[in-house]
Amino acid sequence: MTDEPSTPPTHSAPTKRLRHLIFEWVIILLAALVVSVGLRTFALQTFYIPSGSMEPTLLVGDRIIVDKLAVDWGTINRGDILVFKSPPTENCGGAPVADLVKRVIGLPGDRLYSIGNTIYVNGQALKENWPHSEPLGNAIATAANPVIVSPNHYFMMGDNHADSCDSRMWGTITHSEIIGKAFLRVWPVTRIGSL
């Protein structure tokens, strides 16, 4: 009985290289997907502006980028533009939306009211150093009975004051409802810029 020599596998070098290359690309694509989902979940997200409530700052069809980490690790200041979950009490007559975009007018502990087109915060006229449209429209409250912003809450208002369904109608929002701070408009190309 004679031993026959074993035949080596017939895999050619090009086939091995192709398999290796495919494996590398699968790993790269999976890593990119994980990074992308991670960024969207924890750091940055884009949003579309569906209404004119933030005109002239944000127009219908604009796309913005929101920084989610700025809410958890940073501070929220008067004048910041926030994206937040639509409050359950939001009922302004339009189609229901999941998320809203408005500007912070009142911080925790603030006392807000309005007289005519002037908004008062803690007894001082609010200097709106950002583009906005008047008239004010719905009043915030009276000087005798101001809105007092609770701890961990924020009073939100659209820049298009008369055409915005905001905290004047549905009250303040909580910190936990905030998704992130809008910081960049990325669409349309002619309007790219920081917010």
SS (H, E, C) 54-87: CCCCCCCCCEEEEECHHHHHCCCCCCCEEEEECC
Q: Which among 75, 67, 70, 73 is positioned nearest to 107, based on CA atoms? A: 75
Residues 64 and 193: their CA atoms lie apart, in Å, by 10
Instruction: Give the pLDDT confidence score for residue 79 in this predicted structure.
Output: 96
3-class state of residue 129 by DSSP:
coil
Using CA atoms, how far apart are residues 68 and 178, in angstroms rounded to an integer? 9
Helices of type H across 50-184: 69-73, 167-170
**C-alpha 30: how far from chain center:** 26
The predicted model scores a pTM of 0.78
Banded pLDDT at 11 (limits 50, 70, 90)? low
Work out the mean pLDDT of the chain and round it to a whole number.
86
> Which of 68, 102, 133, 167 is labelled catalytic?
102
Q: Which amino acid type is present at position 76?
A: I
Contact between 47 and 66 (Cβ < 8 Å): yes
- For residue 85, indicate whether it is catalytic: no
The answer to whether 189 and 62 are in contact (CB under 8 A) is no
**DSSP-derived pairing of the beta strands 173-174 and 111-115:** unpaired
53 labelled catalytic? yes
Residue 158 has a pLDDT of 95
29-56 mean pLDDT:
77
User: 56-93, pLDDT tens digit by residue?
Assistant: 999 999 999 999 988 888 889 999 999 999 887 666 77
> Is-cis flag, bond preceding 88, omega within 30?
no
Can you tell me the distance from the alpha carbon of 104 to that of 80, in angstroms, rounded to the nearest whole number? Answer: 5
Catalytic residue from among 16, 36, 51, 53: 53
Residue 129 CA neighbour count, 13 Å, CB half: 3
Q: What is the pLDDT of residues 102-146, one digit of tens each?
A: 999 999 999 999 999 999 999 999 999 999 998 999 999 999 999
The first and second tokens of residue 28, run together, are: 């790269």
Residue pair 49/59 in contact by the 8 Å Cβ criterion: yes
